[in-house]
Amino acid sequence: MLYPQVNASTIPNNPQGCWDWFGYTGQNYAQKSGAQMLAVSAMINRLTSKP
């Protein structure tokens, strides 16, 4: 199981630690090339890779 989390922060303004659904990580936040999607993809690849 993978439970990725986002830390609460003031810069960028994300006091509740929510996933980026409004663009605080950049213009491509809703694309596969967005920072959070790349991070989740890397986590999944790591978990599904052979030892």
Residue 43's pLDDT band (boundaries 50, 70, 90)? very high
Q: Can you state the percent helix, strand and coil of the chain, rounding each to 5? A: 25, 5, 70
| 8 A C-beta contact, residue 17 and residue 36 | no
In this predicted structure, what is the pLDDT of residue 18?
92
Stated pTM of the model: 0.77
**Residue of 44, 49, 38, 36 whose CA lies nearest to 6:** 36
Q: What is the rounded average pLDDT of the residues 18-33?
A: 92
CA distance linking residue 42 with residue 44, whole number of Å: 5
Q: What is the mean pLDDT of the chain?
A: 92
Confidence class for position 29, pLDDT limits 50, 70, 90? very high
